[in-house]
Amino acid sequence: MEIDRFKHQHVEILQGIANLRKFAHAGIKENAYEIVHQLGALTSVVSLHLAIEDRILYPTLQKGGDQRLADMSRSYQEEMQGIANAYIVFARKWGKVAAVAEKAEQFRQEANTVLKTLHTRMQKENTEFYPAIEAS
């Protein structure tokens, strides 16, 4: 199965997280506009990535002949549902400049939790899931 598109989206997602970190470290209140802009861009890529995984990647692997990949795919899909829901709630909550600027510390805390979880998941897919797919 060709997964280059998924891998490229991971690069975009990880870069988006890095950009958000950069602006947050430089000052959340001072960079609220840039943070919201970056969060919107990241959300676009994450949403597209999730949709393609759910419609193409997971079903294809689950219907394929490799039971190990089918089981792994189901597990990854189930785990991603919670991560995706948490990310969507986060992105909606912090989609306005005023909200980020007014509650900078709360934004920082929630961003640290949600984005760390997303980052960890991307790395897990890059080091475990995608190599398993490519090896099949």
Q: What is the pLDDT of residues 13-56, one digit of tens each?
A: 999 999 999 999 999 999 999 999 999 999 999 999 999 999 99
Residue 103 belongs to some domain of the structure: yes
Q: What letter represents residue 29's amino acid?
A: K
**What is the pLDDT, as a whole number, of residue 112?**
97
User: Which has the closest alpha carbon to 84: 56, 60, 48?
Assistant: 48
Residue 99's domain comprises: 4-130
pTM of the model: 0.94
Are 126 and 6 spatial neighbours (Cβ–Cβ below 8 Å)? no
How many CB atoms neighbour CB 10 within 10 A? Answer: 19
Domain count within the chain = 1
Residue 17 belongs to some domain of the structure: yes
Q: What is the pLDDT of residues 59-116, one digit of tens each?
A: 999 999 999 999 999 999 999 999 999 999 999 999 999 999 999 999 999 999 999 9
Distance CA 34, CA 39 (A): 8
**What is the pLDDT, as a whole number, of residue 63?**
96
Residue 47 belongs to some domain of the structure: yes
Residue 135 belongs to some domain of the structure: no
Distance CA 73, CA 92 (A): 28
pLDDT band at 1 (very low <50, low <70, confident <90, very high): confident
Residue 102 belongs to some domain of the structure: yes
Pair of tokens at residue 59? 């079903």
**What is the pLDDT, as a whole number, of residue 127?**
97
